[in-house]
Amino acid sequence: MHQPIRITDNGLDQQGEKGERDGHDPPRGAASLLHGGDLAAARRLFPGAPEPFIDLSTGINPHSIPCRNCHPKYLPGCRSRGARPAHRGRGPGLPERPSPAHVVAAPGMQMLLPLVAALVPPGRAAVLGPTYAEHVRVAALVGHRVKEVTDIGPLKATDLATIVNPNNPDGRTLGKDLLLALADELRSHGGLLVVDEAFMDVGPAGASLGAEVARRNIIVLRSFGKFFGLAGLRLGFALAPADLAARLNASLGPWPVAGPAIVIGEAALADRSWAEAMRESLGRGAARLDEVLTDAGLEVVGGTSLFRLVQMQAAVELFHHLGRAGILVRHFVQQPTGCGSGFRRARTGGIAFARRLLHFDHELD
Ligand SMILES: Cc1ncc(COP(=O)(O)O)c(C=O)c1O
Protein backbone atom coordinates (compact mmCIF):
# COMPACT_ATOMS: atom_id res chain seq x y z
CA MET A 1 0.00 0.00 0.00
CA HIS A 2 1.22 3.50 -0.62
CA GLN A 3 2.29 5.71 2.25
CA PRO A 4 0.20 8.69 3.31
CA ILE A 5 1.47 11.66 1.42
CA ARG A 6 2.54 15.07 2.65
CA ILE A 7 2.95 17.98 0.26
CA THR A 8 5.90 20.27 0.90
CA ASP A 9 6.89 23.44 -0.88
CA ASN A 10 9.32 21.37 -2.88
CA GLY A 11 6.91 18.70 -3.90
CA LEU A 12 5.83 15.47 -2.29
CA ASP A 13 7.09 13.52 0.73
CA GLN A 14 5.98 9.99 1.40
CA GLN A 15 5.07 10.46 5.05
CA GLY A 16 2.04 10.58 7.22
CA GLU A 17 2.27 13.43 9.68
CA LYS A 18 -0.12 15.74 11.32
CA GLY A 19 -0.59 18.95 9.44
CA GLU A 20 -1.67 17.02 6.39
CA ARG A 21 -4.13 18.70 4.12
CA ASP A 22 -7.59 17.39 4.03
CA GLY A 23 -9.12 16.98 0.57
CA HIS A 24 -10.34 20.58 0.55
CA ASP A 25 -7.12 22.44 1.19
CA PRO A 26 -4.99 23.67 -1.67
CA PRO A 27 -1.84 21.63 -2.10
CA ARG A 28 0.66 24.03 -0.57
CA GLY A 29 3.35 23.65 -3.17
CA ALA A 30 0.81 24.04 -5.93
CA ALA A 31 -0.61 27.28 -4.58
CA SER A 32 1.47 29.30 -7.01
CA LEU A 33 -0.07 27.40 -9.93
CA LEU A 34 -3.09 29.62 -9.92
CA HIS A 35 -3.71 29.31 -13.64
CA GLY A 36 -2.78 26.69 -16.17
CA GLY A 37 0.26 27.00 -18.38
CA ASP A 38 2.68 28.42 -15.78
CA LEU A 39 5.67 26.26 -16.64
CA ALA A 40 8.12 28.39 -14.66
CA ALA A 41 6.10 27.72 -11.48
CA ALA A 42 5.82 24.05 -12.44
CA ARG A 43 9.61 23.80 -12.78
CA ARG A 44 10.03 25.32 -9.32
CA LEU A 45 7.54 22.84 -7.89
CA PHE A 46 9.01 19.83 -9.70
CA PRO A 47 12.72 20.63 -10.04
CA GLY A 48 13.77 17.11 -11.04
CA ALA A 49 11.10 16.62 -13.71
CA PRO A 50 12.26 15.55 -17.17
CA GLU A 51 12.27 18.26 -19.82
CA PRO A 52 10.53 19.41 -21.84
CA PHE A 53 7.46 19.61 -19.65
CA ILE A 54 4.27 18.36 -21.29
CA ASP A 55 1.73 21.03 -20.53
CA LEU A 56 -1.77 19.56 -20.23
CA SER A 57 -2.92 22.21 -17.79
CA THR A 58 -4.75 24.63 -20.06
CA GLY A 59 -7.76 24.59 -22.34
CA ILE A 60 -5.73 26.06 -25.19
CA ASN A 61 -5.89 24.17 -28.45
CA PRO A 62 -2.44 22.59 -29.01
CA HIS A 63 -3.05 22.64 -32.79
CA SER A 64 -2.97 26.35 -33.42
CA ILE A 65 -4.11 27.90 -36.66
CA PRO A 66 -1.15 28.72 -38.93
CA CYS A 67 -0.24 32.41 -38.73
CA ARG A 68 0.71 34.72 -41.50
CA ASN A 69 3.88 36.69 -41.00
CA CYS A 70 2.97 40.19 -40.05
CA HIS A 71 5.08 43.03 -38.93
CA PRO A 72 4.19 45.13 -35.90
CA LYS A 73 5.62 48.26 -37.54
CA TYR A 74 2.33 49.96 -38.28
CA LEU A 75 0.14 51.46 -35.64
CA PRO A 76 -3.24 49.76 -35.79
CA GLY A 77 -6.26 51.93 -36.32
CA CYS A 78 -8.33 52.90 -33.31
CA ARG A 79 -11.43 51.13 -32.10
CA SER A 80 -13.12 50.51 -35.42
CA ARG A 81 -10.10 48.72 -36.79
CA GLY A 82 -9.69 46.70 -33.61
CA ALA A 83 -13.28 45.57 -33.90
CA ARG A 84 -12.93 44.18 -37.38
CA PRO A 85 -11.88 40.64 -36.53
CA ALA A 86 -15.09 39.95 -34.65
CA HIS A 87 -17.09 41.89 -37.18
CA ARG A 88 -15.84 39.96 -40.14
CA GLY A 89 -15.60 36.54 -38.64
CA ARG A 90 -18.11 34.29 -37.02
CA GLY A 91 -18.20 31.80 -34.22
CA PRO A 92 -20.94 29.30 -33.52
CA GLY A 93 -24.11 31.12 -32.62
CA LEU A 94 -22.74 34.54 -33.41
CA PRO A 95 -24.72 36.74 -35.73
CA GLU A 96 -23.59 36.64 -39.34
CA ARG A 97 -22.15 40.12 -39.08
CA PRO A 98 -22.43 41.65 -35.63
CA SER A 99 -22.62 45.39 -36.01
CA PRO A 100 -19.37 47.11 -34.99
CA ALA A 101 -21.44 49.18 -32.57
CA HIS A 102 -21.83 46.06 -30.44
CA VAL A 103 -18.27 44.75 -30.64
CA VAL A 104 -15.33 45.59 -28.41
CA ALA A 105 -11.91 44.16 -29.21
CA ALA A 106 -9.30 43.88 -26.48
CA PRO A 107 -5.91 42.29 -25.84
CA GLY A 108 -7.47 39.11 -24.47
CA MET A 109 -10.75 38.60 -22.63
CA GLN A 110 -9.00 38.89 -19.29
CA MET A 111 -8.34 42.59 -19.90
CA LEU A 112 -12.07 43.16 -20.32
CA LEU A 113 -13.15 41.54 -17.06
CA PRO A 114 -12.57 44.50 -14.69
CA LEU A 115 -13.93 46.95 -17.26
CA VAL A 116 -17.12 44.92 -17.64
CA ALA A 117 -17.54 44.47 -13.88
CA ALA A 118 -17.13 48.23 -13.45
CA LEU A 119 -20.01 48.97 -15.84
CA VAL A 120 -22.28 48.30 -12.87
CA PRO A 121 -22.00 50.53 -9.78
CA PRO A 122 -20.59 48.64 -6.77
CA GLY A 123 -23.34 46.33 -5.52
CA ARG A 124 -24.27 42.67 -5.28
CA ALA A 125 -22.38 40.39 -7.65
CA ALA A 126 -22.47 36.63 -7.98
CA VAL A 127 -20.60 34.15 -10.12
CA LEU A 128 -21.93 30.67 -10.89
CA GLY A 129 -19.16 28.36 -9.75
CA PRO A 130 -16.95 26.59 -9.31
CA THR A 131 -15.41 28.31 -12.30
CA TYR A 132 -12.62 30.52 -13.64
CA ALA A 133 -11.53 32.28 -10.47
CA GLU A 134 -10.80 35.62 -12.11
CA HIS A 135 -14.47 36.58 -12.25
CA VAL A 136 -14.82 36.65 -8.47
CA ARG A 137 -11.44 38.30 -7.97
CA VAL A 138 -12.15 41.05 -10.48
CA ALA A 139 -15.69 41.77 -9.25
CA ALA A 140 -14.29 42.28 -5.74
CA LEU A 141 -11.48 44.41 -7.14
CA VAL A 142 -13.90 46.94 -8.59
CA GLY A 143 -15.90 47.14 -5.38
CA HIS A 144 -18.72 44.60 -5.63
CA ARG A 145 -19.80 42.40 -2.75
CA VAL A 146 -19.27 39.19 -4.63
CA LYS A 147 -19.99 35.57 -3.86
CA GLU A 148 -19.58 32.38 -5.78
CA VAL A 149 -22.82 30.41 -5.89
CA THR A 150 -23.47 26.87 -7.09
CA ASP A 151 -27.04 27.38 -8.23
CA ILE A 152 -28.56 29.81 -10.71
CA GLY A 153 -31.27 30.95 -8.24
CA PRO A 154 -29.19 33.41 -6.20
CA LEU A 155 -27.95 35.10 -9.39
CA LYS A 156 -31.41 36.57 -9.98
CA ALA A 157 -31.26 39.10 -7.17
CA THR A 158 -27.85 40.50 -8.05
CA ASP A 159 -26.68 43.62 -9.88
CA LEU A 160 -24.00 41.67 -11.75
CA ALA A 161 -24.42 37.98 -12.53
CA THR A 162 -21.63 36.07 -14.25
CA ILE A 163 -21.81 32.65 -15.87
CA VAL A 164 -19.07 30.85 -17.76
CA ASN A 165 -20.79 28.92 -20.55
CA PRO A 166 -19.54 26.27 -21.30
CA ASN A 167 -18.03 26.25 -17.86
CA ASN A 168 -14.38 25.84 -17.03
CA PRO A 169 -13.53 23.28 -15.61
CA ASP A 170 -16.59 21.00 -15.82
CA GLY A 171 -17.99 21.97 -19.23
CA ARG A 172 -21.51 22.54 -17.84
CA THR A 173 -23.47 24.37 -20.52
CA LEU A 174 -26.68 26.18 -19.71
CA GLY A 175 -29.38 26.49 -22.34
CA LYS A 176 -30.17 29.76 -24.04
CA ASP A 177 -33.75 29.92 -22.73
CA LEU A 178 -32.60 29.63 -19.14
CA LEU A 179 -30.05 32.40 -19.62
CA LEU A 180 -32.51 34.69 -21.40
CA ALA A 181 -35.01 34.19 -18.56
CA LEU A 182 -32.27 35.07 -16.07
CA ALA A 183 -31.42 38.20 -18.07
CA ASP A 184 -35.10 39.22 -17.96
CA GLU A 185 -35.20 38.81 -14.18
CA LEU A 186 -32.05 40.85 -13.82
CA ARG A 187 -33.38 43.57 -16.10
CA SER A 188 -36.39 44.08 -13.86
CA HIS A 189 -34.10 45.69 -11.28
CA GLY A 190 -31.36 46.99 -13.58
CA GLY A 191 -29.01 44.00 -13.29
CA LEU A 192 -26.51 42.89 -15.92
CA LEU A 193 -25.79 39.34 -17.11
CA VAL A 194 -22.23 38.58 -18.19
CA VAL A 195 -21.69 35.34 -20.10
CA ASP A 196 -18.09 34.22 -20.53
CA GLU A 197 -18.04 32.16 -23.74
CA ALA A 198 -14.30 31.49 -23.76
CA PHE A 199 -15.00 27.89 -24.77
CA MET A 200 -18.15 28.39 -26.87
CA ASP A 201 -16.22 27.73 -30.10
CA VAL A 202 -16.43 24.08 -29.07
CA GLY A 203 -19.82 24.39 -27.37
CA PRO A 204 -23.16 23.09 -28.62
CA ALA A 205 -24.49 24.73 -31.78
CA GLY A 206 -26.96 27.49 -31.03
CA ALA A 207 -25.96 27.92 -27.37
CA SER A 208 -24.20 31.28 -27.73
CA LEU A 209 -25.96 34.42 -26.55
CA GLY A 210 -23.88 36.46 -28.99
CA ALA A 211 -26.86 37.33 -31.16
CA GLU A 212 -28.90 38.59 -28.19
CA VAL A 213 -26.78 41.44 -26.89
CA ALA A 214 -28.20 44.21 -29.06
CA ARG A 215 -31.58 44.07 -27.36
CA ARG A 216 -30.76 43.07 -23.84
CA ASN A 217 -28.85 43.56 -20.60
CA ILE A 218 -26.36 40.92 -21.65
CA ILE A 219 -22.64 41.07 -22.33
CA VAL A 220 -21.02 38.12 -24.05
CA LEU A 221 -17.26 37.69 -23.71
CA ARG A 222 -15.28 35.70 -26.25
CA SER A 223 -11.65 34.58 -26.15
CA PHE A 224 -9.74 34.19 -29.39
CA GLY A 225 -6.75 32.33 -27.94
CA LYS A 226 -8.36 29.09 -26.76
CA PHE A 227 -9.91 27.58 -29.87
CA PHE A 228 -7.42 29.07 -32.32
CA GLY A 229 -4.53 27.97 -30.11
CA LEU A 230 -2.99 31.44 -30.02
CA ALA A 231 -3.45 32.50 -26.39
CA GLY A 232 -0.18 34.45 -26.49
CA LEU A 233 -1.50 36.69 -29.25
CA ARG A 234 -3.79 38.26 -26.64
CA LEU A 235 -7.08 38.88 -28.42
CA GLY A 236 -10.59 38.79 -27.01
CA PHE A 237 -13.97 40.41 -27.54
CA ALA A 238 -17.00 41.71 -25.75
CA LEU A 239 -20.35 41.73 -27.53
CA ALA A 240 -22.54 44.25 -25.76
CA PRO A 241 -25.48 46.62 -26.09
CA ALA A 242 -24.26 49.65 -28.03
CA ASP A 243 -24.16 52.03 -25.05
CA LEU A 244 -22.14 49.59 -22.94
CA ALA A 245 -19.86 48.75 -25.89
CA ALA A 246 -19.17 52.47 -26.26
CA ARG A 247 -18.25 52.74 -22.58
CA LEU A 248 -15.93 49.75 -22.82
CA ASN A 249 -14.27 51.16 -25.92
CA ALA A 250 -13.83 54.49 -24.15
CA SER A 251 -12.16 52.74 -21.20
CA LEU A 252 -9.80 50.85 -23.48
CA GLY A 253 -8.83 53.97 -25.44
CA PRO A 254 -7.21 54.03 -28.85
CA TRP A 255 -5.06 51.16 -30.24
CA PRO A 256 -6.29 48.52 -27.79
CA VAL A 257 -5.23 45.57 -29.97
CA ALA A 258 -1.80 45.06 -31.53
CA GLY A 259 -1.53 45.21 -35.32
CA PRO A 260 -0.33 41.60 -35.70
CA ALA A 261 -3.24 40.39 -33.56
CA ILE A 262 -5.66 42.17 -35.87
CA VAL A 263 -4.12 40.72 -39.02
CA ILE A 264 -3.94 37.18 -37.61
CA GLY A 265 -7.36 37.42 -35.95
CA GLU A 266 -9.08 38.62 -39.10
CA ALA A 267 -7.66 35.80 -41.17
CA ALA A 268 -8.40 33.14 -38.54
CA LEU A 269 -11.97 34.21 -37.85
CA ALA A 270 -12.74 34.24 -41.55
CA ASP A 271 -11.40 30.69 -42.04
CA ARG A 272 -14.58 28.71 -41.51
CA SER A 273 -13.27 25.49 -43.04
CA TRP A 274 -10.32 25.42 -40.60
CA ALA A 275 -12.75 25.94 -37.72
CA GLU A 276 -15.10 23.19 -38.83
CA ALA A 277 -12.29 20.68 -39.38
CA MET A 278 -10.71 21.63 -36.05
CA ARG A 279 -13.97 21.17 -34.16
CA GLU A 280 -14.24 17.65 -35.52
CA SER A 281 -10.62 16.85 -34.83
CA LEU A 282 -10.83 18.14 -31.25
CA GLY A 283 -13.96 16.05 -30.72
CA ARG A 284 -12.11 12.93 -31.86
CA GLY A 285 -9.13 13.83 -29.63
CA ALA A 286 -11.39 14.24 -26.61
CA ALA A 287 -12.97 10.82 -27.23
CA ARG A 288 -9.50 9.25 -27.48
CA LEU A 289 -8.38 10.94 -24.29
CA ASP A 290 -11.49 9.72 -22.49
CA GLU A 291 -10.58 6.18 -23.47
CA VAL A 292 -7.07 6.64 -22.14
CA LEU A 293 -8.28 8.15 -18.89
CA THR A 294 -10.98 5.52 -18.43
CA ASP A 295 -8.52 2.72 -19.14
CA ALA A 296 -6.31 4.21 -16.45
CA GLY A 297 -9.19 3.87 -14.00
CA LEU A 298 -10.13 7.55 -13.92
CA GLU A 299 -13.66 8.87 -14.00
CA VAL A 300 -14.25 11.59 -16.57
CA VAL A 301 -16.98 13.83 -15.15
CA GLY A 302 -17.04 16.66 -17.65
CA GLY A 303 -15.17 19.04 -19.90
CA THR A 304 -15.23 20.32 -23.45
CA SER A 305 -13.26 19.01 -26.40
CA LEU A 306 -10.46 21.38 -25.29
CA PHE A 307 -10.10 19.87 -21.81
CA ARG A 308 -11.43 17.01 -19.73
CA LEU A 309 -12.20 16.91 -16.05
CA VAL A 310 -11.71 13.80 -13.96
CA GLN A 311 -12.78 13.27 -10.39
CA MET A 312 -10.90 11.17 -7.88
CA GLN A 313 -9.91 10.99 -4.24
CA ALA A 314 -6.20 10.99 -4.99
CA ALA A 315 -6.24 14.07 -7.22
CA VAL A 316 -3.42 15.81 -5.35
CA GLU A 317 -1.27 12.72 -5.46
CA LEU A 318 -1.83 12.28 -9.18
CA PHE A 319 -1.10 15.97 -9.76
CA HIS A 320 2.29 15.50 -8.08
CA HIS A 321 2.96 12.14 -9.67
CA LEU A 322 2.43 13.61 -13.13
CA GLY A 323 4.37 16.76 -12.22
CA ARG A 324 7.40 14.73 -11.20
CA ALA A 325 7.11 12.88 -14.53
CA GLY A 326 7.16 16.24 -16.36
CA ILE A 327 3.44 16.46 -17.08
CA LEU A 328 1.54 19.49 -15.85
CA VAL A 329 -2.21 19.20 -15.20
CA ARG A 330 -4.51 21.42 -13.18
CA HIS A 331 -5.62 20.55 -9.70
CA PHE A 332 -8.90 22.08 -8.54
CA VAL A 333 -9.41 22.72 -4.89
CA GLN A 334 -13.02 23.78 -5.14
CA GLN A 335 -15.49 21.00 -4.75
CA PRO A 336 -19.09 20.65 -5.76
CA THR A 337 -21.39 20.49 -2.76
CA GLY A 338 -20.85 17.49 -0.56
CA CYS A 339 -18.08 16.02 -2.65
CA GLY A 340 -14.82 15.27 -0.94
CA SER A 341 -12.81 14.44 -4.02
CA GLY A 342 -10.35 16.56 -5.88
CA PHE A 343 -10.40 17.31 -9.55
CA ARG A 344 -7.89 17.52 -12.28
CA ARG A 345 -8.15 18.79 -15.77
CA ALA A 346 -6.19 17.67 -18.77
CA ARG A 347 -6.03 19.22 -22.18
CA THR A 348 -7.02 16.82 -24.91
CA GLY A 349 -4.41 14.97 -26.88
CA GLY A 350 -1.10 13.44 -25.97
CA ILE A 351 -0.10 9.78 -26.01
CA ALA A 352 2.74 10.70 -23.67
CA PHE A 353 0.10 11.57 -21.13
CA ALA A 354 -1.28 8.07 -21.41
CA ARG A 355 1.97 6.21 -21.11
CA ARG A 356 3.18 8.05 -18.08
CA LEU A 357 -0.24 8.13 -16.50
CA LEU A 358 -0.40 4.36 -16.55
CA HIS A 359 2.45 4.08 -14.04
CA PHE A 360 0.47 5.92 -11.44
CA ASP A 361 -1.36 2.86 -10.08
CA HIS A 362 1.89 1.02 -9.45
CA GLU A 363 3.33 3.90 -7.52
CA LEU A 364 0.30 4.13 -5.26
CA ASP A 365 0.14 0.40 -4.58
C1 LIG B 1 -13.26 30.75 -18.66
C2 LIG B 1 -12.16 31.69 -19.06
N3 LIG B 1 -12.47 32.96 -19.36
C4 LIG B 1 -11.51 33.83 -19.74
C5 LIG B 1 -10.19 33.47 -19.82
C6 LIG B 1 -9.18 34.47 -20.29
O7 LIG B 1 -9.12 34.42 -21.69
P8 LIG B 1 -8.10 35.28 -22.54
O9 LIG B 1 -6.89 34.44 -22.78
O10 LIG B 1 -8.80 35.63 -23.81
O11 LIG B 1 -7.74 36.50 -21.73
C12 LIG B 1 -9.83 32.15 -19.49
C13 LIG B 1 -8.42 31.74 -19.53
O14 LIG B 1 -8.06 30.66 -19.12
C15 LIG B 1 -10.84 31.24 -19.11
O16 LIG B 1 -10.56 29.96 -18.81
More confident: 89 or 107: 107
Atom of ligand 1 nearest to the CA of 36: 14
Alpha-carbon gap, residue 197 to 174, rounded angstroms: 11
Residue 78 pLDDT: 55
- Poorest-pLDDT segment among 135-144, 179-188, 315-324: 315-324
Cβ-based neighbour number of residue 66 at 10 Å: 11
Domains of the chain: 6-62+275-364 (3.90.1150.10), 79-270 (3.40.640.10)
Q: Is the CB of 201 under 6 A from ligand 1?
A: no
Q: What is the pTM of this model?
A: 0.85
At 216-260, the pLDDT tens digits run: 899 999 999 999 999 999 999 999 999 999 999 999 999 999 989
Residue type, 183: A
Q: Is the CB of 164 under 6 A from ligand 1?
A: yes
Q: Is the CB of 196 under 6 A from ligand 1?
A: yes
Q: Please, which pLDDT band fits residue 91 given cuts at 50, 70 and 90?
A: low
**Cα 199 to middle of ligand 1, angstroms:** 9
Q: Say yes or no to pLDDT of 280 above 80.
A: yes
Residue type, 77: G
Q: Is the CB of 227 under 6 A from ligand 1?
A: no
Counting Cα atoms < 13 Å in the Cβ hemisphere of 151 gives 4
Query: Are the C-beta atoms of residues 16 and 317 closer than 8 Å to each other?
Result: no
More confident: 84 or 215: 215
Give, rounded to a whole angstrom, the gap between the first and last alpha carbons of the chain.
5
Q: Say yes or no to pLDDT of 322 above 70.
A: yes
Q: Please, which pLDDT band fits residue 340 given cuts at 50, 70 and 90?
A: very low
Alpha-carbon gap, residue 130 to 140, rounded angstroms: 16
**Cα 173 to middle of ligand 1, angstroms:** 16
Residue 359 pLDDT: 65
Q: Say yes or no to pLDDT of 327 above 60.
A: yes
At 287-299, the pLDDT tens digits run: 988 998 898 888 8
Looking at every residue in the chain, the average pLDDT score rounds to: 82
At 92-106, the pLDDT tens digits run: 545 556 788 999 999
Alpha-carbon 9 to chain mean position: 26
**Cα 1 to middle of ligand 1, angstroms:** 40
Q: Please, which pLDDT band fits residue 67 given cuts at 50, 70 and 90?
A: confident
Q: Is the CB of 225 under 6 A from ligand 1?
A: yes
Residues 15-41 as b/e (b if ≥16 CB within 10 A, e otherwise) read eeeeeeeeeeebbebbeebeebbbeeb
More confident: 151 or 363: 151
